[in-house]
Structure 1
Amino acid sequence: MTDLFSPDPDDTDDDGVSSGAVRLPLAVRMRPTSVGELVGQRHLLAAGSPLRRLAEGGSGPAGPASVILWGPPGTGKTTLAHVVSKATGRRFVELSAVTAGVKDVRRVMEEARDARDLHRRETVLFLDEIHRFTKAQQDALLPGVENRWVVLVAATTENPSFSVVSPLLSRSLLLTLRPLSDDDIGGLLDRAVADDRGLGGAVALEDDARAHLVRMAGGDARAALTALEAAAGAALDESAERPAPVSLATTERAVDRAAVRYDRAGDQHYDVASALIKSMRGSDVDASLHYLARMLEAGEDPRFVARRIMIAASEDVGMADPSALQTAVAAAQAVAMIGMPEARIILAQAVVHLALAPKSNASYMGINAAVADVRAGLGGPVPPHLRDAHYAGAKKIGHGKGYVYSHDEPLGVASQQYAPDGVDGRDYYQPTDRGFERELTTRLQRLRDILRRR
């Protein structure tokens, strides 16, 4: 029987390329079948590590641990699971959270328990995209994991802290996969070109084309092999020469552009948004524009971006440049009226304004300090002279008595107590010496002197 991941070597066309290329994608044909073929993730595959023991079929008195594999697409989560499936003596069951339900999970658990009790066989359950399971579906996994009916290998592209229930997290090892290095991707491309499971030497990958594929992949092995397959197909169509040269021009024609590494619904959504905010805060206008472009090119809702910019205008710029918030609000309104693709220009203007503006988080720190005091129970009742005196009977109980109307004072500032007794005299707002806030420092001190002259 022909292995799923390796087409029959005798089943080739005139170019020497296995006709398995028609049946299975290159990325599937090149999937490793042993630990030795794995690319990257060496930090998880050291001798004696839980994942290595699992992949090599080791057990020991404690038994292998269930694991949750977390990482971006194309870093080897599914590949690791299939390597585990080759371990001798184990049943391997694969489910996808996209199509499986609670009934499927319970059926697997029952079969695994029977296999353990009747045949002393261990079952490895690979669950792809576990973040798509509801809480109830994930809870159905708990008995099997806790009682070791199955060794769970779950894969997710989303942060398990938010997408996996706590009881399941506590019963599993969380292993973080990293994007592959450029060297890893380059080596994988070279192997795919030469290997009989791949292109079997039917093409010759030129250096600049190879570098372009590595750059486009962004650490994603699947993306690299998919792009190589497209470029190789174009080269074989264009040239009668064998091996057919895969040039940079051929590659660029075959692969329109690099896929933007950004998942609107996943963890990268927050990572890139965070990078945009921190780049504006750090006054790096070029990095700020890069992250803005990355979000918009991935199809992010421009209104979400506009909201983040408005928050940054107050949190990070504040009174150092009061016009920054005006720009941000105007940009948000304009984006709502205009939409993409022109909205990118308006958002870019707002991002540039915030990145280049002087920075102050004094307003942000001021409200945080005030909130901390309120939560600590400080404050006390509103001073009587500030209380509402408009309703019937209010003045009889002292509301408004002694209140000084500020506009009646020569400087328009009345020297009286405004804050409750518990926080009277606290200085929440501490202006910086940057931008317009520098001018506020002197004015603020004069105001505080007048207000507290009592």
Structure 2
Amino acid sequence: MSANLFGGDERPGKRSAASDDLAPAARDAPLAERMRPITPEDVFGQTHLLGEGKLLQRILDGDITQSLILWGPPGVGKTTLARLVARASSARFVPFSAVLSGVKEMRVVMAEARAVRSSTGERTLLFVDEIHRFNKAQQDAFLPFVERGDVLLIGATTENPSFELNAALLSRCRVLILEPLEVDDIQRLLRHALESENGLNGRIQLSDEQVARIAHASDGDARRSLTLLETVAAVSLSGGAVDDAALSEALQRKQVRYDKSGEQHYDLISALHKSVRNSDENASLYWLARMLEGGEDRRYLSRRIVRIASEDIGLADPFALRISLDAAEAFDRLGVPEGDLALAQAVVYLARAAKSNAVYKGLARAREDVHRTANEPVPLHLRNAPTGLMKDAGYGKGYRYAHDDPAAKAEMECLPPSLRGTRYLDPPGGQKR
């Protein structure tokens, strides 16, 4: 069995709270590992799960009885909380990484878990990090063991379980959502690490403003904040007070966390679209900047901007569509970064423009009728009649030329008989800002 899988060279056996997997980190381990909490009281953030009467606190106070999925971004404590649950549990603990091992190894663990329970009655608490790395078919292998209770599963994932986990497995687990840490929580963590014997033990000093800079650069990621702090300590070789130049060198340019193909991509584009729709030009510009700095495909943004112009501005300001198309063309000619300004100009114009979704709603209603009603023939008076035969058959008979016959607009019906009088568009003039 792989040493990477179980943290040692031995075959997987009984894993208790005293095992190497749950032992404190070595003194030469990275700062983030040395500062990993070993009691619930050491945890910063996640107050919606921890604290008097909260769900996870009740699990930590007693014995775990239900499989869990811990869902949240990197560095918010998923592995830490799994270890704390293991410490509080009387179950045999086995850590497993979906990155390092596959279904074959996992089935060995499952078979052993069933054997242990059959012989001793003891259940196995299986922690699967990055559980979403198993595809949904592979996740089926967990089901019989979780169903029988041989295994209590704790799965950790950065991806939305609704999309990435097998529905049958998900229905057997309680999903706990972990949030990015607040800036205040990160600052408290950093100050603790500065003074802790397991941390930097007072070797460097940072002002409150410097601590805040590191916290803001961490984006709610505790691991990132401690890694940045460790970098600050490394560039401050003499110790003592850290000057701003050394801090800037350590922080360098903030890397914006952004997953162009994941849930964050859809959340941010939704925020941009809805901010424009709400005529909030400042929020619109902010969400656009988040996507630009995250490396979003500008052509994708161009297409969405054109869509907004038709869907939410529409007839209230038909020029908005031209502005959007021009912005897309300008980006194609200029590229990054100059072309970003054209996209920003279009977004601000759309946010400031009057709004109308009349065409959007009208087309939806017309489409609904297309599917709801029969495909009736085009009325004879509206048909094209390029040949004598077609004229003899009545094609075009009764058609009235509206330019010469103003009454035609009111008197000549252009819809099929079953839809006569239907109105898909509200009367003009009802647009609002």
- TM-score, normalised via structure 1 length: 0.82
- Whichever residue aligns with residue 52 of structure 1, its letter is Q
1:389 positional shift: 5.0
Match of 1:119 in 2: 120
The answer to whether the aligner puts 1:70 opposite 2:66 as a matched pair is: no
Q: Is the alpha carbon distance of 1:127 and 1:333 closer, same or farther for their aligned partners in structure 2, counting shifts above 3 Å?
A: farther
1:24-76 deviation line (CA, Å, top 9, x unaligned): 321121111222212221222345655335445514xxxx1111122222221
User: Following TM superposition, by how much is the alpha carbon of 1:216 offset from its aligned partner in structure 2, in angstroms?
Assistant: 1.9
- Counterparts in 2 of 1:111 and 1:179: CA distance versus 1, 3 Å: same
User: What residue number does 1:42 align with?
Assistant: 47
In the alignment, which residue of structure 1 is the partner of 2:167?
166
Matched-pair contact (CA < 8 Å) for 1:131–1:164: yes
Is 2:399 the partner of 1:403?
yes
CA distance in 1: counterparts of 2:365 and 2:231, whole angstroms:
58
Is the aligned partner of 1:303 residue 2:304? no
Alignment correspondent of 2:356 = 360
Instruction: Give the conservation status (yes or no) of the 8 Å contact 2:181–2:222.
Output: yes
Letter in 2 for 1:181: E
| Counterparts in 2 of 1:35 and 1:4: CA distance versus 1, 3 Å | closer
C-alpha separation in 2, matches of 1:335 and 1:298 = 17
- List per-residue Cα deviations over 1:253-312 (Å, max 9, x = no partner): 210133324322221111111111122122222221211111111111111111111111
Note closer, same or farther for the CA distance 1:397–1:27 as it changes in structure 2 (3 Å cut). farther
Gap change, CA 1:88 and 1:430, over 3 Å in 2: closer
Distance 1:388 1:177 in 2: 64
Q: Distance in 1 between matches of 2:87 and 2:160?
A: 28
Q: Give the aligned partner of residue 368 of structure 2.
A: 372
Q: Which residue of 1 aligns with 2:345?
A: 349
Change (3 A) 1:246 1:119: farther
Match of 1:234 in 2: 235
Q: Does residue 279 in structure 1 map to residue 275 in structure 2?
A: yes
Specify the SS of the correspondent of 2:93: strand
Match of 2:57 among 52, 56, 65: 52
Alignment CA distance shift 1:266-1:414 (3 Å): same
Structure 2 residue 35 is the aligned partner of structure 1 residue 30: yes
| C-alpha contact 1:383 1:417 (8 A) present in aligned 2 | no
Distance in 2 (alpha carbons) for counterparts of 1:36 and 1:227: 24
Amino acid at match of 1:160: P
Distance change (3 Å), C-alpha of 1:133 and 1:7: closer
Summarize the Cα distance change of 1:140–1:330 in structure 2 as closer, same or farther, 3 Å threshold: farther
Q: 1:52–1:381: structure 2 CA closer, same or farther, 3 Å change rule?
A: farther
1:414 is displaced (CA, Å) by 7.6
After superposition, the Cα gap between the structure-2 partners of 1:162 and 1:388, relative to the gap in structure 1 and judged at 3 Å, is: farther
Structure 2 CA distance for aligned equivalents of residues 101 and 7 of structure 1 = 26
Residue 114 of structure 1 deviates from its aligned partner by: 1.4
Structure 1 residues 133 and 331, CA gap change in structure 2 (3 angstroms) = farther
In structure 1, distance between residues paired with 2:244 and 2:427: 55
> Structure 1 residues 420, 182: CA separation in 2 closer, same or farther (over 3 Å shift)?
same
Q: Indicate whether 1:83 and 2:84 are aligned.
A: yes
Question: C-alpha distance in 1, partners of 2:40/2:60?
Answer: 7
Note if contact 1:309-1:328 (Cα within 8 Å) is conserved in structure 2.
yes
Does the CA-based 8 Å contact 2:214-2:251 persist in structure 1?
Answer: no
Aligned counterparts of 2:270 and 2:21: Cα–Cα separation in 1:
45
Is the aligned partner of 1:427 residue 2:423? yes
**Residue 262 of structure 2 is aligned to residue 266 of structure 1:** yes
The more displaced of 315-324 and 376-385 is 376-385
Q: 2:379 aligns with which of 350, 358, 383?
A: 383
Q: State the match for 1:318 in structure 2.
A: 314
Bigger Cα displacement from structure 2, 350-359 vs 418-427: 418-427
Instruction: Give the direction of change, closer, same or farther, for the CA distance of 1:89–1:220 in structure 2 (3 Å limit).
Output: same
Q: Is the 8 A contact 1:95 1:127 kept in 2?
A: yes
Is 2:261 aligned against 1:256?
no
Q: Secondary structure at the match of 2:185?
A: helix
Matched AA of 1:173: R
- 8 Å Cα contact 1:157/1:266 also seen in 2: no
Query: Conserved in 1, the CA contact under 8 Å of 2:40 and 2:84?
Result: yes
Asked whether the 8 Å contact 1:101–1:137 carries over to 2, the reply is no
Q: Residue 221 of structure 1 aligns with which residue?
A: 222
CA distance in 2 between partners of 1:48 and 1:168 (Å): 27
1:3/1:201 CA distance change after superposition, 3 Å: farther
Q: Deviations over 1:48-107 (max 9, x none)?
A: 655335445514xxxx11111222222211221222232343222233333433223322
Answering whether residue 345 of structure 2 is matched by residue 340 of structure 1, we say: no
Q: 5+ residue gaps in structure 2?
A: 1-18
Q: Distance in 1 between matches of 2:90 and 2:167?
A: 31
Count the aligned residue pairs. Answer: 415
Question: In the TM superposition, what is the alpha-carbon distance from 1:387 to its structure 2 partner?
Answer: 4.3
Structure 1 unaligned residues grouped into runs of 5+: 9-17, 439-454
Conserved? CA contact 1:57–1:84, under 8 Å: no
Q: Distance in 1 between matches of 2:344 and 2:49?
A: 41
Check whether the contact 2:71–2:161 (CA below 8 A) recurs between aligned residues: yes
CA separation in 2, counterparts of 1:66 and 1:432? 57
In structure 2, how many angstroms separate the alpha carbons of the residues matched to 1:206 and 1:95?
A: 40
Q: Which residue of 1 is the match for residue 98 of structure 2?
A: 97
Per the alignment, residue 190 of structure 1 pairs with 191
Cα deviations by residue, 1:136-166 (Å, 9 ceiling, x for unpaired): 1222222222222221212222222222222
* Cα 1:103/1:398, change in 2 over 3 Å: farther
